[in-house]
Every structure is written in structure tokens, then in C-alpha cells.
Amino acid sequence: MTHPAYDLYSPSVRSTCVVFASPHSGRAYPAAFLAQSKLNSDAIRSSEDAYVDDLFAGAPGHGAPLIAARTPRAYVDFNRAPEELDPALIDGVRRISSNPRVASGLGVIPRVVAGGRVIHDGKITLEQAHARITQHWRPWHDRLQTLLDESARLFGQSVLIDCHSMPHEALDNITGPRPDVVIGDRFGASASPALVHEVCEAFTAAGLRCVRNAPFAGAYVAQHYGKPARRQHAVQIEIDRALYMNEQTLQKRDDFDDLRRLLDGVIVRIAAAGAADDHALAAE
């Protein structure tokens, strides 16, 4: 299924309560947006979680739907709340209480891309901002919630695996062995410990080093959808981009398919856990 905001890849048979999502891999840039941006077509892509949708493309083959953004993060950020509007970018927005994401230019309509580079030449109107949210943000989140509701109906619980990538330099200040993957559960608030353990074990078994919540614990998606008391769990995954791409050229590494095959084994294990009859993932 294709929508202007997303592509939905559905399994032939839904066999697990797990839903995979890639909210930041969208690369369908509107021509008018590119024409009025201060950035060239390469620079504006620097905030993308490029190719994360490709890395997790095997999910439907293992019984789990994958919803992948078409809308670019630089246009609308699906991992922000709709009210996170930036008065420095959007005319008519009243300055609200301090929000570090908005203040840094990374609200639901971003003002900057990676490195603090400004996207727009001037401000946009509040009407334009609301149109982006109505036409892109809301359809994505409506579909995602529908997928989780379907899992709850079919399996008695739902699990969202929120898939992202992180700049290699984001890990420069990590003490100890450098991780390949950061698992975020908002310090236990968005998912059961049993689920988070299973996700970490899946990556570890694949030979990838995994840490939790530092430097990424999960943002709006994990906060909004992670409701373990209601048997709706959300876990954020951040994969080091240097494992599969050149961050300067945005080109896939020659061994990209090797990592994709490795992650296919991770998907299999997570999906199998979500298909268990004993509902072990919901254990507290």
C-alpha cells in the first residue's frame, strides 16, 4: 500500500504482534520544497535515516508489517509531537514553554538539518505548517496506530520496533567498547523489561554490540506509543550509519547486503518472540 506519506509493506499472513516502522528514511522531496530551500539536494538529506527501510525490508517475509516513511524528515518529522511548532520558523506561532528540540530547530517542521544548517530561506506560514501535518504527519500516525490496534486484536498485545540510524560521531563520547546499536525504551517507560532484553539479545546474537538508552532513549514515537501497562510496547533502535553507508556521500557500502542479511536474522528472532503464545514479552 502506498500513500504520499508512507509505504506499507504487509505480510501475506500476520503471524506476530510486532510492527516495524522507519519514520526517518523518507526521501520523496517535494519539488517546490527543494526549490525554495537554502540547501542543495545532497545537504538536505543529511538528517535522513537513509536506507533504514531497506535494512528492515525483510520484516513482511517473517509475518510483521513494515511502515516506511516517504515524507522526508526535513519536511515533517514523524518523531515529534504535532504541537512542537517552532516560532523561529513559523509565522503566527506563539512562543511556548522551553522545549529543547524546538529551540534547536528540530520541531515537527524542522528549521535545520544535521549540523545546524538552515533549511528555509525565511519563514513559512502557520497554514503551510498545518497542511504538512494534516497531509503527512497525521496519516502516518493514524496508520501506525491502526497496525498496533490490529496486533492487539489478533495477539492480545502489540510491539512497535521504531527503526532509526545514528551518525557515527554520536558515539564518540561513549565509554568502553563502541556500540553498534543503541536500544531506547525511555529508561523502562515504553516497553517491558522482557521485551527490551529480547531485542538486545537478538542483536547480540547477530554479533552486534548493544547498549541501552545512551545517547538515545527514544523520542515522541516511543513516548506516545509505549504503554506497557496497556500491553502496547515501543522500542527504539538506532544503528550506527558507518556500518552500512558513507555518511558524506550517502552511498551504501559495498557490504550493505551483508548487514541486511544479518539484520534479517534479528528480525526473525524479534518476530518469533512476538508470536509466542505465552505473552512473555509483556512480563514485568
Q: Give the pLDDT of residue 193.
A: 95
The angle subtended at Cα 211 by Cα 216 and Cα 67, nearest 5°, is 60
Do the domain assignments include residue 202?
A: yes
Predicted structure pTM score? 0.95
Answer for the pair 74, 47: CB distance below 8 angstroms, yes or no: yes
In a domain, 106, yes or no: no
Kindly report, residue by residue over 10-69, the tens digit of the pLDDT.
999 999 999 999 999 999 999 999 999 999 988 999 999 999 999 999 999 999 999 999
Higher pLDDT, 7 or 92: 7
Q: Are 214 and 183 in contact (CB under 8 A)?
A: no
What range defines the domain where residue 238 resides?
A: 2-84+130-276
**Residue 95 domain-assigned (yes or no):** no
In this structure, is residue 100 part of a structural domain?
A: no
**Is residue 283 situated within a structural domain?**
no
pLDDT, residue 171, reads 84
Q: Report yes or no on 160 lying in a domain.
A: yes
Q: Quick check: is 270 in a domain?
A: yes
Q: Please say if the pLDDT value at position 181 is more than 90.
A: yes
Q: Which amino acid is at 70?
A: R
| Average pLDDT of the residues of the chain | 94
The count of structural domains within the chain is 1
Is residue 246 a part of any domain in this protein?
Answer: yes
CATH of the domain at 213: 3.40.630.40
